[in-house]
Each structure stands twice: as structure tokens, then as C-alpha cells.
Chain A
Amino acid sequence: MKIGIPKDGRFGDFGGKYIPETLAPAIEELEKKYMKIRNDKAFKKELKKFLIDYAGRPTPLYFAKNLTKRSGGAKIYLKREDLLHGGAHKINNTLGQALLAKKMGKKRIIAETGAGQHGVATAMACACLGLEAEIYMGYVDTERQKQNVFRMELLGAKVHSVKSGSQTLKDAINEAMRDWITNVESTYYLLGSAVGPHPYPLMVRDFQSVIGNEIKKQMKKIPNTVIACVGGGSNAIGTFYPLIETKAEIIGIEAGGKGLNTLQHSAPLSAGTKGVLHGMMTYLMQDKQGQIQETHSISAGLDYPGVGPEHSYLKDEKRVKYKAITDDEVIDAFLLLTRVEGIIPALESAHAIAYAVKIAKKMKKSESIVVTLSGRGDKDINIVQEYLKKNVKDKRKI
């Protein structure tokens, strides 16, 4: 299948621009500038230089020999986005958008963050490019990802703790949007995932597609299966999009939390319904009244009731399969990868690892799986420690 640029900002039924009117001129300006600059050679060259010299691209594609042996089947390769500056794929997008903001003459940057990885990556890009950064983060997330709050502050960003609603990522986006409505002339909103009103989903896909493009070059032949975790869906769409027209099987992994039958999960593609939130039409976790439901995931970065509209489209078109992995399975995968490969994955990325291990054994040894390891897990070690303390009974050996 071929997708390209979404017509009228829509991927089939999904996407669009459901926005307060005050934002309309800003979105229009952004769209105009971005559509022009996305094919501009000088811009691409400048961004590429930052990605290489500052962020550390290209990232390796690592053959995980021990993990492959343990799973006993297909070869598992890891796309090492965890090795990027800041420790996650987020910097691919923040450098792109911050550079764009600078070209648009904006000096004040706002962003939302869940796990804090996008906030950190925004703070880094802004420090590097001489821009002012203010980050909105749900209060619950500031508590569970304390270290990232301090990292952002060290990098010169101002962090606003958001105490409305469920005090997580969705509320941080609400608050960032309110800030943007209030300071629309001076401010650039640097969205951290492939969500929001058009042109954000397209723009974030463009900036993250470097992941999939490198995979294509690094694999001698097209992999049988490609897997990435899906929060808002930026590392996933960046991994998938360049491979959409190939024969590869593509699988996105959502946060199954305590199980899809419990409501304590963040898996709108697996268990949600269509609706409108944060400027886009997409699959959402909502009740019958259209109220957005509170979500749960052990990983703050996946704890979001919506998903990028292109993923909703890819699901309905059946080009990509979406599956969920539970918190318990995530911890197992986290411990496994850490032990056998010496790589501590982000809890978000551990969702994708868990699924890869699950299916590898059912595949032939000659087949291959590429898993995008979206980030490193240093930020999560306290959460894992607490989890293990609470679950001593199930005797997971450390």
C-alpha cells in the first residue's frame, strides 16, 4: 500500500484538525512553512548534520545473539535508538521541529512530556539551538520520573507540573494546548509524538522515518517482521513507514497494563473506539458517553488514551497488526534483555521486546525480526525496583 501525504490532513477517516479557532492561523502557518521546508535541501542538510554530530546517528542495528538463542527461533535484531543523545528516539523529532521553529522566527518553545524523554529531548534541542523551553508534565509523571524532571531543569527548561484531570500525559497535552492558545503569536508547540492536528502526525512521521530508512539500509534483505512499541506512535511510525510498501509483517505493541479486560491499560487500538481528542480523529479509550477514560501502564511514555491517526488507519486497512503486552510481561522482558544482552531497555521499548521473544520461537531460524529499541531504561530502574519489591512472591530472580 501507498500512503504519502494525507489529503486534507486525513488518513482515511482519521486525523484532521479539530482545534479551537485561535489556533487555526498558527496551524495554517505551520503547515505552509513545513510543507515548503520538508523538501528544502539546505534544511535537510542542516538537520542531517545535527542528527549525525549532535544526536549520534546512524544508530547501530545490533544482532542480539543471546536473546535469539534464548528465544530459540528467528534472529532478533535491535535498532538501537537507546544509544541516541538523551537516551531515546525523541531527539530525531525535537531537533527537526526546533530547527523549523527557529526558521519560523519563534523563540519560545512549549512541549508536553509523559516519561520525560520528550521533555528532555526538547530541552536539549532548545539549549543547542538557543531557544527557550517550557515543558508541561502531569503531576503523577513528575513523581514517577523525578530524575527526568531534574534533567530538564538542568538543561535550562522550565517544568510545569500539571494537576488537572488524570495528571498524566493527556493532561499535559491539554495544558500545553491552553498555553499555545494563550501565547499563540510568540510560541511554537513542539509535539512529541505522531498525534495532534495535521500537520503534526505527518511532520513527526517525517522526522522519525530516519529509523526505518536506516533499518532498510542496514538489513541485507527486508526483515520478515518489524516490531515497535506504540504510545502516541512516533517511534513506531518512524520504523514502519519506510517499510509499508515492502512485504515485511509489521506489528505495533500497545501497553496492555493489567490486562485488556481490566480497563487498566493504554491500548486504544486493541480495545478502543473512534473519537476526537487533541485535534485529531483516532481510536481512543473512552466510555459510552464520550468521556476519555483514565489509562494505566507501568511505562509513563505509553500511558495515553489516544494514538496517532495514521496508526488507526493502518489498523483499519489491516496493513499493521496491533497487539498488547501486560505490565508483568514487560518486567520479564526488561529483566531478560538486561541479563542476557547487558542492555537496559526503557519500559516502553520492553513491550516490543516481550512480543518479539513471544513470536520468535514460532518462526524459522532463517527468518528475522527487527525490534526498535526506542530508549534506554535508566529512567525506569526505580519503578522496576519497586515492582520487584512488591512482587517478591512471584520470585522473579534478579
Chain B
Amino acid sequence: MSRIKEKFNELKLRKEKALVSYIMVGYPNDNATLSSVKGIVKGGADIIELGFPFSDPIADGPIIQKASTGSLNNKTKIEKFFKLVKKIRKQTNIPLILMTYTNILYKQGYQQFIKRAKNAGIDGLILPDMSIEESKNYLNAAKSQKMDTIFLVSPNTKKDRLNKIANASSGFLYMVAVFGTTGVQTKIHQYTIDALKSTKRSVGQKIPVGVGFGISTERDVKKYASIGADAIIVGSANIKIMENTPSSKLEKKICSFTKKLKNQTK
């Protein structure tokens, strides 16, 4: 069974929802990545999502765009990333998801990239520009490596399409909370609540549903947990903390932020 699936089973028994914490690797610097991971694990997050930078992140808002550019300026490379993942994997058994864009995988070859990612300790992949129509080769490569493929759905995804996407997904299904890019939103829209409920209804027990994009506060996490999200993903908020915290205090600060969010999922 995959680490991600195991985690969701375990959480179900504990009657908890998953907190998924996102960071961009290599931003603001390499040390910050390691300290943040430590803080996230200590704070009790259930899954870590590692962003790998792409030069043209069309699904991302200003905060993650800036982090991508920063990470690339810090010379983040695939080889270095896999080394880092191996290091993290030695320290913890937490499920690790890689989020990046299709071209990063395509350029190395889906099969080759996914094999290396699996070897390093990555459990699942998120590619926001990989549509279900274009996913055949990607899916075959992932299946052969037992890599989870986490596809995104949106509040405007129609039911038949939703089912197709859910069938191609493993680990969990990622519902984008907003019409928009990643970032920090000030409120939860009614349309998001409705969409989450209907997505849950359509998908049933087949696969857990996570929700992300724009979620940054304890109040948001609590709300989504209460209306049926199986996982809540927080990203840009972590990056803002990382930008504003001196390195000596980073682990502690991320840990306490993670703890607060995690408490809302219990």
C-alpha cells in the first residue's frame, strides 16, 4: 500500500483530517527547506508537498511565483532535489508529494523521472498543467513505478469529467478551492463549499478529497475539515513565514504554525 493511502487509513481510524504542508524547495535558501521540513514534521503535519520550481508557473499566484524564481536563482536542479529528498526520507517516514509542471518531467522522460523520484522517496505527483486528455504516457509511467498521481479538479468540473479524473487519481483527489491561482484568500466562497460537498458526493469512498489554493488560517482549516474535506493543503502561508523569519527561528516558527493548523483537523 502506498504511504499516502496508509496515512489516510490511519487518519480515518483516528477520525482526523490530513494537513498537507507545501513548501518550495530551495527558497529562500537550501537550509530553510530542511529547517522547515523539520518544523512541519514536528508540528504534526500528515503529508509534505515539495514544490519544484518551473520558469513559467501558470497556476501559481505572486507568492509562489516569487518563490519559484528565487529557487531557480539559487540554482535548484533536479539532481540536487533528489538528493534533498533522500536526506529527508532518511529522517522521516512522512508521505512526500512533488508538485511541479509537466515540462520538468517530460524533458527527462516520464519513465526516467518517475523512477528516480520513487527511488529518492517521493510518493506522489501533482502536475497542475497535466490534463486528463494528455495523461496517457504519464499515467503508464507512474503506474509502473507505483507512484501516486494526484490530479486536480476545479469547482467548475462537470460530473462525468470529475469521475474520469477521480479514476485516474491515486493517493487523493485535489480540489482547487477557488477560480484562481495559488495564494492567500480572505474568505471562503459559497461556491467552494458547494463544490466540495458535491465532489465528495460524486467520489464517495473511492478516494480521499483534498482541498487547496488560498487556504492560510486556522479558521479556514477548521471550516474545510468540518464540511468534509479529507485533506487540507496550505502553501503560500508557509512561504510567507519562511520569507519573514530569520533562519535561527524558522524551525520553531513553522512548527508552531503547523501545530495550530493541525489542531483544527482533529
Contacts and interface: CB of A to CB of B under 8 A. Distances in A.
Interface of A: 8-9, 16-22, 24-25, 164-165, 170-171, 174, 177-178, 181-185, 273-279, 281, 284, 286, 288-292
Contact of A16 (B65, B133, B156): B133
B154 A21 contact: yes
Given A8-B133, A181-B179, A276-B102, A289 B78 contact: yes
Interface in B130-187: 130-131, 133-134, 151-154, 156-158, 161, 165, 176, 179-181
Nearest to B178: A182
A184 B178 CA distance: 11
Given A178-B181, A289-B78, A17 B131 contact: yes
A335 B154 CA distance: 53
A21 B152 contact: yes
B176 A21 contact: yes
B58 interface: yes
- Interface size for chain B: under 10, 10 to 19, 20 to 34, or 35 or more residues? 35 or more
B131 A178 contact: no
Given A16-B133, A22-B179, A24-B161, A286 B59 contact: no
A276 B56 CA distance: 11
A8 B136 CA distance: 13
A164 B69 contact: yes
Given A25-B157, A25-B158, A18 B102 contact: yes
A208 to B, nearest CB: 25
B104 interface: yes
Residue with the highest number of chain A CB atoms closer than 10 Å, among B65, B158, B165: B65
Interface string B80-116: 0000000000000000000001111111100000000
A301 B104 CA distance: 27
B108 A184 contact: no
Given A281-B106, A284-B103, 16 more contacts: A17-B133, A20-B128, A21-B128, A21-B176, A24-B131, A24-B157, A164-B69, A178-B58, A181-B58, A182-B179, A183-B179, A184-B179, A185-B156, A281-B134, A286-B103, A289-B78
Given A178-B61, A182-B180, A292-B55, A21 B153 contact: yes
Contacts of A181: 58-59, 179-181
B56 A289 contact: no
A290 B106 contact: yes
